[in-house]
Structure 1
């Protein structure tokens, strides 16, 4: 492995395991579970848990430049069970900007690039609900908008929860 890769790995790993980090840039990591609730297009409305079951597993790294602004890099494998057949139906590359809104709220404005050919953007409102020295628990409302791959544009409302460290 190259020296640059080794340095980057050590830098990221040390940031993820340093819970008392108070200087900036500040690096945090997270893992969550995201359930799309309803997806609407010009042709139809689909409801998760009724028409099919879909779930995503957002995993990412946040790099906070200051207390107020940061960058997030997220990868989300999405699994769908439709009619008894389940599979990973896409892998989402989800970079974005983070804006701390105060009182535990954060806005994430994300670009979206899916391996199934869809693309778009996802505004997310996030709230830290439990915070302690080593981790915090959060809930979020992602609102994905997607285009492309010969399908009509879609809007989804979802619910996400997870742990940040």
Structure 2
């Protein structure tokens, strides 16, 4: 009888250990980011009007615990205008992740662009659909950029993607 109770206890503890998330937890993701409007002291640019710009954020998140983590993201950006299309920029985007609860996450990112600009990007993210193998998310990135002899700019974007 004692042996059976011991085995049941081991089985119960083992099942609970495997059902819990182990930290650090590593996840990856891929998304599509559409800048909607960019404002600076010189001009206001609206995507989809005179051109089409899109970014493809790809990254790795390393969660230290349930509340905080580190993220590294690389974003190639493409611009289509008239008959011309090209990669305009490659963005290196490290940052800190803060879980806000109920599927919301804040990412505070530093931004280093191959085009010579730099800045910060606060991102507000929401997990929309979550399954065992992946989750789908939507996010609002708010990039602020400086440098390269251009005025400071502020952009509002929309991003969606898959995390696994």
Instruction: Give the TM bin, normalised by the shorter chain.
Output: 0.7 to 0.9
Partner of 2:49: 50
Partner of 1:63: 62
Question: Equivalents in 1 of 2:93, 2:86: separation in Å?
Answer: 20
Shift of 1:52: 1.0
Match of 1:94, SS? strand
Partner of 2:138: 139
Aligned pairs for 1:18-57 (under 5 A) are 22-57=21-56
Partner of 2:9: none
Shift of 1:84: 2.3
Partner of 1:12: none
Shift of 1:31: 0.1
Question: Equivalents in 1 of 2:83, 2:71: separation in Å?
Answer: 35
Question: Equivalents in 2 of 1:147, 1:89: separation in Å?
Answer: 17
Please list every run of 5 or more consecutive structure 1 residues that lacks an aligned counterpart in the other structure.
Answer: 1-19
User: Normalising by structure 1, what TM-score?
Assistant: 0.87
User: Normalising by structure 2, what TM-score?
Assistant: 0.87
Match of 2:151, SS? coil
For 1:81-133, what per-residue CA distance to the aligned partner results, in whole angstroms no more than 9, with x for missing partners? Answer: 12321100000000000000000000000000000001000000000000000
Question: Equivalents in 2 of 1:104, 1:50: separation in Å?
Answer: 33
Partner of 1:124: 123
Partner of 2:156: 157
Shift of 1:21: 7.5
Relative distance call for 1:153 and 1:135 in structure 2 (3 A) is same
Larger Rg: 2
Question: Equivalents in 2 of 1:21, 1:56: separation in Å?
Answer: 35
